[in-house]
Amino acid sequence: MTFLLIAHRGASAEAPENTLAAFDLALEQGAKALELDVRLSADGVPVAIHDATVERTTDGHGPVAGHTLAQLKALDAGSWFGPRFAGERVPALEEVLVRYRGKARLQIELKSEEVELPAGVAALVRQHKAEHDIILSSFIKAQLERARPLLPEVPLAWLVRRFNNEVIQEAAEAGFQSCCQPAALVTAELVREAKARGLTVVAWGVRSVEELGRLVGCGAVAATVDWPDRARKNIERKFAGPARPSTRSG
Ligand code: G3P
Ligand code: MG
């Protein structure tokens, strides 16, 4: 049984999301895959940050798209989470590719609407020969469709907020490899339906280890989690099974 745990924005329960500190920690904890959110800076550089504005996760103000890479790099992306992370920076996607390629699968979420974003990401992926290390995900179907001809060998995962037969059909017709939906909506029946249409099911928004266990039982292949360490230990326990009965007669 392989179930892929994807560290959501890194080990984001324990370190500031979408920073090298969070990604490094996830790897130290044994994560084999990292999720990051990517947007464009004002000068067109793909950077790892979730929100459209910098307020929540840095000491700056205003839209990400209103900052050049140099201006984003001047911000503190760690202190909001805790003083020991002071000085963490907003990583450029390129830094992430260079640092983790070959060490972890990267689920790169095309977060923003800019039509130039898929091409910017694809160029870096080609430049760093990371085609076989990544998955591209997005809630924005058009971004995945823009990425496909640029990186035809890269799996595409469509993020949705609902899960039903219509979504499965739409994802299959679009030629995506996975559909990703809130953990609470995943059922064994829908996973079967998705598989029959050639799609794997990835869950997001997992709230507990119990829910993670339920997802595995339903046949989902992966989930993004903020706490990869706890999740891994729990999954390993689950698949270790009960202790083997002794073969000794006494
Ligand atoms: O794993 C999917 C997840 O990243 C989607 O939601 O808002 O955390 O990017 P969000
Ligand atoms: Mg995301």
Number of domains in the chain: 1
The ligand 1 atom at the shortest distance from the C-alpha of residue 37 is 9
Query: How far apart are the C-alpha atoms of 244 and 61, rounded to whole Å?
Result: 58
* Residue 124 within a domain: yes
Residue 119 belongs to some domain of the structure: yes
* Ligand 1 site-directed mutation target among 50, 57, 143, 204, most atoms within 8 Å of CB: 204
Ligand with minimal distance to 33 CA:
1
Residue-level pLDDT, tens digit, the chain, 250 residues = 589 999 999 999 999 999 999 999 999 999 999 999 999 999 999 999 999 999 999 999 999 999 999 999 999 999 999 999 999 999 999 999 999 999 999 999 999 999 999 999 999 999 999 999 999 999 999 999 999 999 999 999 999 999 999 999 999 999 999 999 999 999 999 999 999 999 999 999 999 999 999 999 999 999 999 999 999 998 888 766 554 444 443 3
Tell me, yes or no, whether 178 lies in a domain. yes
Which 3 state secondary structure label does DSSP give 200? strand
The tokens of 16 are what? 């500031």
Task: Tell me, yes or no, whether 248 lies in a domain.
Answer: no
Residue 204 belongs to some domain of the structure: yes
CA distance linking residue 182 with residue 215, whole number of Å: 11
- Atom 3 (ligand 1) nearest CA: 204
The residue range of the domain holding 93 is 4-239
- 180-190, pLDDT tens digit by residue? 999 999 999 99
CA torsion through residues 124, 128, 129, 135, sign: negative
Return the CATH number at 167. Answer: 3.20.20.190
Judge whether 104 and 27 are in contact, CB under 8 Å. yes
What is the distance of C-alpha 76 from the center of its chain?
23
- Are 158 and 82 spatial neighbours (Cβ–Cβ below 8 Å)? no
Q: Is residue 250 one of the residues assigned to a domain?
A: no
In a domain, 209, yes or no: yes
